[in-house]
Chains A and B, each alone.
Chain A
């Protein structure tokens, strides 16, 4: 459960552990048959597809998602869904790429994180679902979530879960420092940080140099738009925009004063620091409350959830960190049934409710986000707070537009040796930011993109 959440939502630079099969040699011809623009499917064609005996293969990293697949099979008994967990996001992507290059062995549907959708679109690996009627689903989802899977050219996945960002904090540590409410602005956050350092010796939080997911979410909140991508070869990279510089400059100040730690996240030391209050808060995503609950059990009752501090008082803007979609993979022999499954899994009320309450995926549909069975849950770990309600409210405040580049693998891996390194070594963050920009631009050009 915990690792699944971690893998699928926060994940990025975890690929190190994947001492995965170096085998799987692939020929140097990536020329996939290409996603031929599909013809709009009529209702009768869809009906026929769902009444034809079919086996669909679904690659996903959500333990127990077979339950939701069963709901689909009950509704369409002719169709069998074969759920396979290749073992983590980075492994799934590697296997998927290998299978796509080999031209066989790819699944019909695969779970793809939002941040990786363009990375698979560039190789024409995702089927445009608009001709199958996916655009009609738009109204069911939160606006910014839909923008993660769709653009003017089409729809490339069905949203499954999301990670709108809030602030989880240790009420006990804050109180020891004489603070009674969560910081509403980043200015207040800096003042609280000073108080916490002075009175308890603890850090207000940790800014990891190991994984850019969190920081990109904070860029997102600030209104930074680091990338635009047209789905083909034109790519804009502005990692060092004024907005991103403002965020980085702000954290530089906290780091230099010793208010914020810069250790890697999700490792042994990090869990210990969250347990013993060394980190008094964690600006994090909607998948984190449950993750924390199982990761640092002994601190039950000490935590509270709040929105992210704001740059302008009362602005009420959030960013997003993580989340994934289910995409139909190019080459599938059953695009209609595959689409129907992805759509059912993530929009059928019974299925989405089950995903939210049983698989603990943070919902993407407005219906589930306002379902009392979900938002009404009270959590003892958070002192009886309705944490889902809190994050459901936050979800409405996420900035509408944030595009990902088609080179997210490299974006994440180069972070650790540029900006991430500057953070970890408490160096010059702005220099690190421009080094990151430079590295990503160089790679993009080398890969044949027209970069501006």
Chain B
């Protein structure tokens, strides 16, 4: 009995030691994750169940804030704007990024490294600085772009007007993120096994055929990743409209994007509970859309 029991006990103690080390190793992550992620989210969820009024203070309201979000025209106006932003800007940005990635990867580009750096450079510039810079270029009277159209006798160009502002922001975001997406796609391309291209070339495929039939399908996962990132990024649009709002205060309202609306509800309207509810509803919608996109794409891939 005792002979048989000994190895078991030893194994158990090894297990225990392993478990202890394991716990110790994940502990820093768990603590940070809980402290910086789980706790604030729970706290925000708690806040979102209160209606915070200047007169009377905070009162528990259950889900009242959520029903208010769902029927709030300001929220949906901002949501519609970022949805439009998503369907117009994201395809343009990702197609251009993919084109650059393929061009650089093809090796036919002279000075490929320099080109890569130049395309990537805008991403290294802080978004706030980039937006301010573009804001000056956009100035309706003395901005560079308007000066050019005036010099060409085309009249002044107000890119900060209500009608143009969304396009102006799309341009800034493209400028900022084409390089970033290009790098993701380019690194994925570098990981595609070279044998595939050799085989294709042997079969007489030109570079465009190789790109369309081999490279793009091979980096499908990376493309999907950039799509998901871009969806999330679009719905979370905040710093660009927030900064341009100073230059174009009448074109960018408090509810321009859902995130900007949540910010203003919290810090201008001083309605923290409602702001938290907006954030949760937005987060939920992003999750659903990202999930749907991922599932659809994977199903399509599986069907092929």
A binding-site residues for B, Cβ under 8 Å: 13-17, 19, 22, 25-26, 28-31, 94, 97, 122-123, 209-211, 232-233, 263-264, 267-269, 272-273, 278, 406-407, 409-410, 413-414, 416-417, 420-421, 423-425, 443, 446-449
CB distance from A122 to the nearest CB of B (A): 5
Docked complex Cα distance between A448 and B263 (Å):
21
> Do B250 and A209 touch (CB < 8 A)?
yes
B249 & A15 in contact (Cβ 8 Å cutoff): no
With A15-B267, A409-B269: A267-B247 Cβ-Cβ less than 8 Å: yes
Q: Does B45 contact A (CB under 8 A)?
A: no
| Smallest beta-carbon distance A279→chain B, Å | 11
Take A28-B273, A269-B142, A407-B54 as given contacts and tell me if A417 and B254 are in contact as well, using a CB distance cutoff of 8 Å: yes
Cα distance A332–B262 in the bound complex, in angstroms: 32
B272 touching A420, Cβ below 8 Å: no
Bound-state Cα–Cα, A211 to B246, Å: 10
Contact for A15 among B57, B248, B268, CB less than 8 A: B268
| Partner-binding segment picked from B104-112, B218-226, B237-245 | B237-245
Q: Please tell me if B52 contacts chain A, counting CB pairs below 8 Å.
A: yes
The digit string for B5-27, where 1 denotes a CB below 8 A from any CB of A, is: 00000000000000000000000
A-B contact pairs, 23 of them (CB 8 A): A17-B246, A25-B40, A25-B43, A25-B44, A28-B52, A28-B58, A29-B57, A94-B267, A264-B248, A264-B250, A267-B247, A268-B139, A406-B54, A407-B54, A414-B254, A417-B255, A420-B249, A421-B250, A421-B253, A425-B161, A425-B250, A448-B54, A449-B55
Smallest CB separation, B56 vs chain A (Å) = 5
- List B256-273 residues whose CB lies under 8 Å from chain A: 263-264, 267-273
Sample of 11 more A-B contacts, CB < 8 Å, known A268-B142, A407-B54, A443-B269: A16-B245, A28-B272, A29-B57, A29-B58, A30-B58, A209-B249, A263-B140, A410-B268, A413-B264, A420-B250, A447-B55
Whether the pair B243, A448 counts as a contact (CB closer than 8 A) is no
Give A259 to B246 CA distance when docked, in angstroms. Answer: 25
A31 to B55, CA, bound (A): 10
A122 touches B140 (CB 8 A): no
> Shortest CB–CB separation between residue B273 and chain A, in angstroms?
6
What residues of chain A lie closer than 8 Å to B254, measured between beta carbons? 413-414, 416-417
> In whole angstroms, how far apart are the Cα atoms of A125 and B50 in the complex?
22
Q: Does B227 lie at the interface of the complex (its beta carbon under 8 Å from any beta carbon of A)?
A: no
Task: Kindly list chain B residues whose C-beta atoms are within 8 Å of the C-beta of A421.
Answer: 162, 250, 253
Task: Considering the complex, give the chain B residue whose CB is closest to the CB of A31.
Answer: B57
Least Cβ–Cβ distance between B259 and chain A, in angstroms: 10
Residues of chain B with a CB closer than 8 A to A31's CB: 57
Partner of A210, one of B50, B141, B250, B272: B250
9 smallest CB-CB distances across A and B, nearest first, come from: A448-B55, A424-B250, A28-B58, A448-B53, A417-B253, A210-B249, A28-B50, A16-B246, A16-B245
Residues of A close to B272: CB separation below 8 A: 26, 28
Question: Which residues of B, 147-206, contact A by the 8 Å Cβ criterion?
Answer: 161-162
Q: Which residue of A lies closest to B55 (CB)?
A: A448
B127-145 residues with Cβ-Cβ distance < 8 A to A are: 128, 136, 139-143
CB pair A122–B249 under 8 Å, yes or no, is no
Contact A16 B249 (CB under 8 A): yes
> Given the complex of chains A and B, what is the CA–CA distance between A16 and B250 in angstroms?
12
Are A16 and B242 neighbours in the complex by a CB distance under 8 Å?
A: yes
Nearest residue (CB) in B for A234 is B55
Asked if A19 contacts B56 (CB within 8 A), the reply is no
> Cα distance A19–B128 when bound, in Å?
9
Which residues of the other chain, B, contact A19 by a CB distance below 8 angstroms? 128, 239, 242-243
Q: How far is the CA of A427 from the CA of B141 in the complex (A)?
A: 20
Smallest CB-CB separation from B59: which chain A residue? A28
B58: A residues at CB distance < 8 A: 28-30
**How far, in whole Å, are A123 and B44 apart by their CA atoms in the complex?**
22
Determine if B250 and A449 form an interchain contact, defined as CB atoms under 8 angstroms apart: no
Judge whether B55 and A264 touch: CB under 8 Å.
no
Q: A268-B142, A406-B54, A447-B53 are in contact. Are A97 and B270 (CB under 8 A)?
A: yes
Residue of B nearest to A278 (CB): B141
Q: Chain B: which residue is nearest A98 at the CB level?
A: B267
With CB as the reference atom, state the residue of chain A lying closest to B160.
Answer: A264
Q: Complex formed: what's the CA distance from A262 to B268 in Å?
A: 25
How far, in angstroms, from A409 to B193 measured CA to CA in the complex?
Answer: 59
Q: Once the chains are docked, how many angstroms separate the CA of A122 from the CA of B57?
A: 11
Tell me if A413 and B268 are in contact (CB < 8 A).
yes
Question: Least Cβ distance of B200 to chain A in Å?
Answer: 49
Q: In the docked arrangement, what's the CA distance between A447 and B58, Å? A: 10
User: Which residues of chain B have C-beta atoms less than 8 A from A26's C-beta?
Assistant: 272
**A70 → B minimal CB distance (Å):** 34
